[in-house]
Structure 1
Amino acid sequence: MGVTLPDETSVWKQFKQGDSGAYEAIYQCYYDQLYNYGRKFTADCCLVEDCIQQLFVNLWKNKNRLTTPPSVKNYLYKSFRTTLFKQLRQTNRSVHNQYEALPFTVSLSAETQRIQSEQQAELHAWLQKAIKDLSAHQREAIFLKFYDQLSYQEISEVMQIEMRSAYDLVHKGLARLRKRHTLEPLPLISWMLLLIAVLSV
């Protein structure tokens, strides 16, 4: 699950002052999360890694001109998404603008697939299939909300949409999933835990 660097504002200020240790701490904390997020858009591991490296190289080069964002994590996600989309559009001429949805895919991890309960296995299989029927933007918003634990305001900033739109994407996506669900009813908290498991890779 997504985590946030403890006292990230203080660490960010140290990084801006040229502290390589603070810079490394930011990199170590968020690299895996950014990589996991990027892989939802493309299977090209090298491209995702290159975009993360490009992001952090630019951060270091421009550290003296950077402001201190309210959320370092949110700032990194937004910057990384912009960098990745730019690279993806250079190789995909059918995508013309920053607001057009790129594919956003999720799949079950090997660990999640080792379900002992037949009922749980059936539910996971159903959810994996059902979530593919959501729009790319709905899948991305749900991922950011429940896996990376971003607020609706942060999701709107990362995806460059209105906050109301971020809220609608998440809730309409969940409503669609629950409406299609024909198995035994689940409480909301079970849905949240199940979604986290499915979105983990």
Structure 2
Amino acid sequence: MLTKEKHIQQLYLQFLCGDDDAFSPLYNALFDDLMHYGWRLSRNQEVVEDAIQDLFLKLYQKSFTLNDTSRLKPFLFRALKNTIYNQLKRNARSTELNIENLEFTLSYTIEEKLFSQDKYALTDEVKNIMDSLTERQKEIIYLRFIHDMTIDEIAQIMDINTQSARNLISRSLQKLRESSTKVSIIILI
């Protein structure tokens, strides 16, 4: 049985080879992940959905192609982030908006992934610890542990070099460990 990532790669290759019937399953395979990521960058569902539609329109028109099909998902995450940022900047009509300072909502995903088991209860303490992370720390935790992306993929999405991504993940985990032994134990599970 194919993993989700391998299935996405296979669909993308089929589409690139001219199989238009592979486009709809490719869209369906990627939509939820893109929607969840976009939702964390902007709580405006319309903006996120429009950005995803724009990405897939460009993909369908083959405005871009990737030689390394294993990097499609990180590429689309990065493109989605930039599209949302540009839309928010246009809506704000301000140049003060900085892509590095986009609010990144993490708590819902952490609740789903780490605390959905009955034996763990989400406490105010854990919420406060997660809220104490910077936006970039929340984003890197999300990409690394929720989407299981590599450091190279994260660096691509966050537009930083690989060593900076390693440093950021290390600092983020260190902050969580220092904040609470309970969170450290949960992350290590």
1:12 and 1:68 in contact (8 A); partners too: no
Partner of 1:174: 173
Matches of 1:54 and 1:170 in 2, distance apart? 30
Partner of 1:6: 6
CA offset at residue 4 of structure 1?
A: 3.5
Change (3 A) 1:191 1:67: closer
CA offset at residue 124 of structure 1?
A: 4.0
Change (3 A) 1:17 1:51: same
Listed as ranges, the gaps of 5+ residues in structure 2 are: none
Residue 24 (structure 1) aligned with residue 54 (structure 2): no
Partner of 2:152: 153
Partner of 2:90: 90
- Structure 1 counterpart of 2:173, one-letter code: L
CA offset at residue 95 of structure 1?
A: 3.5
Matches of 1:173 and 1:36 in 2, distance apart? 21
Structure (1/2) with the larger helix percentage? 2
Matches of 2:6 and 2:181 in 1, distance apart? 42
Deviations 1:12-54 (A, max 9, x none): 2221233222111211111000000011111101111110011
Change (3 A) 1:11 1:134: same
Q: CA RMSD in A?
A: 2.6
Matches of 2:48 and 2:96 in 1, distance apart? 18
1:4 and 1:73 in contact (8 A); partners too: no
Residue 128 (structure 1) aligned with residue 127 (structure 2): yes
**Counterparts of residues 49-128 of structure 1 (less than 5 Å):** 49-62=49-62, 66-69=65-68, 70-92=70-92, 93=94, 95-98=96-99, 100-108=100-108, 120-121=120-121, 124-128=123-127
1:104 and 1:140 in contact (8 A); partners too: yes
Deviations 1:111-147 (A, max 9, x none): 7877755xx32x6432221111111001001100000
2:66 and 2:72 in contact (8 A); partners too: no
Identity %: 27
Listed as ranges, the gaps of 5+ residues in structure 1 are: 194-201
Residue 191 (structure 1) aligned with residue 187 (structure 2): yes
Matches of 2:108 and 2:188 in 1, distance apart? 15
- Structure 1 counterpart of 2:136, one-letter code: H
Change (3 A) 1:24 1:5: farther
Q: Structure 2-normalised TM-score?
A: 0.83
CA offset at residue 154 of structure 1?
A: 0.3
Partner of 1:45: 45
